[in-house]
A = this chain, B = another copy of it.
Amino acid sequence: MITEHKGARHPGLVQLITPDGERVSHPEYDPWVQDVGDDQLVGLYTDMVIVRRIDTEATALQRQGELALWPPLLGQEAAQVGSARVVRTEDFIFSSYRENGVAWCRGVELPDIIRMWRGNAASGWDPYTVNMAAPQIIIGAQTLHATGYAMGIQFDGADTAAITYFGDGATSQGDVNEALVFAASFQVPVVFFCQNNHWAISEPVALQAHTRIADRAPGFGIPSMQVDGNDVLAVMAATRIAMDRARRGGGPTFIEAVTYRMGPHTTADDPTRYRDPNELEDWAAKDPLKRVKALLERKGLLTDQLLDEVEGKANDVARQLRKACVEMPDPAPSDVFRHVYSTPNTWLDRQEEHYSRYLASLGDPAAANQAEGATR
- The residues of A with any CB-CB pair to B shorter than 8 Å are 1-11, 28-29, 171-175, 177-178, 181, 184-185, 187, 206-211, 214-226, 241
Contacts and interface: CB of A to CB of B under 8 A. Distances in A.
Contacts of A241: 2
A216 B220 contact: yes
Given A2-B241, A207-B185, A219 B178 contact: no
A362 B215 CA distance: 66
Contact of A174 (B177, B184, B185, B187): B177
Contacts of A178: 172-174, 177
Contact of A219 (B1, B9, B181, B215): B215
A252 B181 CA distance: 22
A225 B332 CA distance: 61
A150 to B, nearest CB: 15
A8 B221 CA distance: 9
Contacts of A222: 210
Given A8-B5, A185-B207, A219 B221 contact: no
Given A28-B3, A174-B178, A207-B185, A220 B218 contact: no
Contact of A175 (B174, B207, B216, B217): B174
B5 A10 contact: yes
A106 B282 CA distance: 55
Contacts of A6: 218, 223
Nearest to A253: B4
Contact of A218 (B1, B7, B173, B206): B7
Contacts of A216: 219-220
A210 B223 contact: no
B172 A181 contact: yes
A11 B7 contact: no
A223 B29 CA distance: 31
Contact of A185 (B1, B184, B208, B218): B208
Given A7-B223, A187-B210, A210-B222, 20 more contacts: A3-B11, A3-B28, A4-B11, A4-B225, A5-B8, A5-B9, A5-B11, A5-B214, A5-B224, A7-B218, A8-B218, A174-B177, A174-B178, A181-B208, A210-B221, A211-B220, A215-B218, A215-B221, A218-B219, A219-B220
Nearest to A206: B185
Contacts of A217: 219
Contacts of A226: 5
A187 B211 CA distance: 12
22 contacts: A2-B29, A3-B28, A5-B9, A5-B215, A5-B226, A6-B218, A7-B8, A8-B8, A8-B219, A171-B181, A174-B178, A181-B209, A185-B208, A209-B221, A210-B222, A211-B219, A211-B220, A211-B221, A215-B218, A215-B219, A218-B219, A219-B219
Contacts of A3: 11, 28
A206 B215 CA distance: 21
A194 B55 CA distance: 47
Nearest to A175: B174
Contacts of A185: 206-210
A370 B184 CA distance: 58
Contacts of A214: 5
Interface hub of A5, A185, A208, A220 (most chain B Cβ within 10 A): A5
